[in-house]
Amino acid sequence: MYELLDVQAIFTNMPKILSRLPVTLGVTFGAMLVSTAIGLTIALIKVYKVPVIRHMAGFYVSFIRGTPLLVQLYLVYYGVPRFFDYLYRAHGWFGQINFNLIPPVAFAVGAFAVNLGAYLSETIRSAIETVDRGQFEAGISIGLTRGQLMRKVILPQALLGILPNYGNTLISTVKDTSLIFMISVVDIMGQSQIIGARTLKFFEVYISVSIIYWLTCILLARILSELEKRARVYERKLVE
């Protein structure tokens, strides 16, 4: 008798797929860490209207937001080795780098960091600009440098505005990492495709991986919700 669904196969495959969850989370958190630094830098360039550089930053944000993530992944994976090879052959810079020794996961983290940096820069910039301008003037009046003002006064107040979008970006990134198998990184999606090709139970395998993504995102959402509560408490202390 033909069965619509092999329920046993769904749960049998889960441990094998879960074995690749550290890869998925590693790419996610690695990219978020690097992209936070990129996003903050771009946001500050825009907030302070740094000449020339702000136009370059604007082009970067526009290009990233206007092109698909998969295309950016390919551009980094194939473009970075070619670019450095050109610099070596044409100018003798950096020496000859054997990119075959660099794991594909490094390119995945780099591509995601570049992508997320553009989106986070807008999140951080908008949160900074919601802080009362009087806070800027008060900080300058008591002799704070721009760096001290941003670090001690503005960013702590902007944090609550940053966290919701930051959390949404984190959760979206977990799901978007399903693309990294396209550059040979075996994450949970890649593992599911391998198992599906071997067992020919693609439907059951994709149900397994969807459950894993779903539960992972639920857990992350609860952690982020707790962080937002703590941030609100911190903000109230600042106001008091």
Task: Please provide the DSSP assignment of 214-233 as one string.
Answer: HHHHHHHHHHHHHHHHHHHH
Residues whose CB falls within 8 Å of the CB of residue 216, separated by 6 or more in sequence, listed in order: 21, 24, 25, 174
Say if 76 falls within a structural domain: yes
Whether 138 has a pLDDT exceeding 80, the answer reads no
Three-state secondary structure of 70-123: HHHHHHHHHHHHHHHHHHHHHHCCCCCCCHHHCCHHHHHHHHHHHHHHHHHHHH
Whether 133 has a pLDDT exceeding 60, the answer reads yes
Q: What share of the chain is helix, strand, coil (3-state, %, to 5)?
A: 85, 0, 15
DSSP H/E element including 6: none
Say if 2 falls within a structural domain: no
Say if 198 falls within a structural domain: yes
CA pair distance 46, 117, nearest whole angstrom: 14
Say if 1 falls within a structural domain: no
Say if 30 falls within a structural domain: yes
CA pair distance 178, 48, nearest whole angstrom: 37
Whether 237 has a pLDDT exceeding 70, the answer reads no
Quick check: helix, strand or coil at residue 5? coil
Residues whose CB falls within 8 Å of the CB of residue 106, separated by 6 or more in sequence, listed in order: none
Say if 152 falls within a structural domain: yes
Parent domain of 232:
7-239
Q: In the prediction, which pLDDT does 150 show?
A: 83
| Number of structural domains in the chain | 1
Over the stretch 2-55, which tens digit does the pLDDT of each residue have?
677 888 889 999 999 999 999 999 999 999 999 999 999 999 999 888 998 999
Mean pLDDT of the chain: 89
Q: Read off the CATH number of the domain in which 100 is found.
A: 1.10.3720.10
